[in-house]
Amino acid sequence: MMHKANSEQPNQFRTVSLREVLQAMPKVDLHRHLEGSLRLETLAEVAYEHGVDLPSYDIEELRPLVQMVESDPYDFHHFLEKFKLLRRFYSCREAVERVAYEAVADAAKDNVQYLELRFSPASLAMAQDFSLDEVTEWVIQAVHRAQQDYQITVGLIVSILRDFGHEVAEHVTEVAIAYRRQGIVGLDLAGDEVRYPGKPFAKLFHRAKAEGLGITVHAGEAMGPERVHEAITLLEADRIGHGVRTIENSDVLQLVLKRDIALEVCPTSNLQTGVVSSLGMHPLRDLYRLGVHVTLNTDDPSVSNTTLTDEYVVAIQHIGLTMIELKNIILKGIQAAFLPAREKARLEKRLTRALGLETPSRFRWRFWE
Ligand SMILES: [Zn+2]
């Protein structure tokens, strides 16, 4: 793709960089946490205006407290620590609505056309003892507004945090079910998978599934493929958050293939949590070529200081995917979306055309294999 430099130099063309091509590409993000998507400027402003007690209100001094920086060790628990301070910022309704609105706006500016944004009502509610219902309504309203202002479709996923215990998880599940006709499309299990197995939450996920919610479970990230197995067989997961360590066990790999379980892969996050030792060692390409239903996502754009465009650059430059493979992965995102079949088909058709993949993806998949 080339553009004319200006009208006075009709024969002058400039080279378009890979980043620009990928930035312009329509995108799908199925795994993005609201709590990991806060703009640093917003953090500083909200904290200052609402008197949130912080060591500093300067953006650069705040940065290492809420974002992975060069001096940080690449470690799962260290990564999770960043969210503890972030919870102090949900100080009022305006703050919750603002971060939800901006999370969608930022995705739209990165040309994300379909976003599943997940949030933990309990995390948003805890600083000021808000009710889970009210914070959920604020997020829904803000996201609805952002969808009217930007060209983007958003589904909301409610996250249960393993660390908050079973009683909170029960309330969160009820909230997710209660608001399923107002934009909540799925239920997620997040938090510390090392210390808290998924099994105790199984009944909640069965109930959510019976009520029509999509099920996604963080697994096979800090822990091995046994957690992926647990998520599929005990929690009835439709998709796995990360799940990259599936590749370590051929039985679990076969299970994922047989049931067409989509993996929500987030490469930069995997590097920063120490799941992979380098981006070049990331198993995304191997998983794709083995036929696993992989999708490519951000996880926590602000904590990881990344965008979906950055992740696409990583996929091509460091992981070694071809452009056609990347485009197929974007379509696989839509195919795994928690959307009604008709809406999914409509979006898939639109994206297929926009990505220049006019032949059906099934045919193309075989051809490239
Ligand atoms: Zn996540």
Which tens digits make up the pLDDT trace of 109-139? 999 999 999 999 999 999 889 999 999 999 9
Q: What is the pLDDT of residue 74?
A: 94
In the chain, what are the domain boundaries?
Answer: 23-42+93-368
Task: Measure the CA angle with vertex 161, ends 158 and 163; round to 5°.
Answer: 170
- pLDDT of 166 higher than 50: yes
Take residue 75 and report the two structure tokens written for it: 């470690």
Distance 367 CA to ligand 1 centre (A): 33
- pLDDT of 4 higher than 80: no
Give Dmax (Cα) for the chain.
68
Catalytic residue among 221, 264, 325, 348: 221
Place of tokens 């909640």: 204
Question: Which secondary-structure segment (H or E) carries 160?
Answer: strand 153-161
User: How far is Cα 354 from Cα 349, in angstroms, rounded to an integer?
Assistant: 9
- Exposure string for 300-339, b = 16+ CB within 10 A, e = fewer: bbbbbebbbbbbbbbbbebbebebebbbbbbbbbbbbbbb
Supply the DSSP symbol for 254: H
Q: Which residue has the higher pLDDT, 59 or 253?
A: 253
Distance 15 CA to ligand 1 centre (A): 36
Measured CA to CA in angstroms, residue 353 lies from 31, 71, 172, 281, 361 at distances of 24, 43, 39, 32, 11
Q: Which residue has the higher pLDDT, 175 or 366?
A: 175
Q: What is the pLDDT of residue 251?
A: 98
Q: 23-42+93-368 in CATH: which number?
A: 3.20.20.140
Rg value, the chain, Cα: 20
Q: What is the mean pLDDT of the chain?
A: 92
pLDDT tier at 13 (50, 70, 90 boundaries)? confident
Distance 33 CA to ligand 1 centre (A): 6
Distance 235 CA to ligand 1 centre (A): 17
Q: What is the pLDDT of residue 337?
A: 98
Mean pLDDT of 225-233: 97
Distance 218 CA to ligand 1 centre (A): 6
Beta-carbon contacts of residue 79 (< 8 Å; ≥ 6 apart): 68, 269, 272, 273, 303
Mean pLDDT of 136-144: 98
pLDDT tier at 55 (50, 70, 90 boundaries)? confident
Quick check: 368 and 328 in contact, CB under 8 A? yes
Is 94 noted as a catalytic residue in this protein?
Answer: no
Mean pLDDT of 25-47: 95
Supply the DSSP symbol for 26: -
Distance 62 CA to ligand 1 centre (A): 22
Distance 24 CA to ligand 1 centre (A): 25
Distance 270 CA to ligand 1 centre (A): 10
> What is the pTM assigned to this prediction?
0.92
Backbone angles phi, psi at 9, to 5 degrees: -125, 70
Q: What is the pLDDT of residue 2?
A: 44
Q: What is the pLDDT of residue 369?
A: 43
Note the Cα 140 to chain centre separation in Å. 17
Quick check: 335 and 293 in contact, CB under 8 A? yes
Distance 297 CA to ligand 1 centre (A): 9
Quick check: 64 and 72 in contact, CB under 8 A? yes
User: Whose CA is closest to 325, among 285, 359, 290?
Assistant: 285
Supply the DSSP symbol for 238: S
- Which of 4-13, 148-157, 245-254, 270-279 has the lowest average pLDDT? 4-13
Give percent of the chain above pLDDT 90.
81
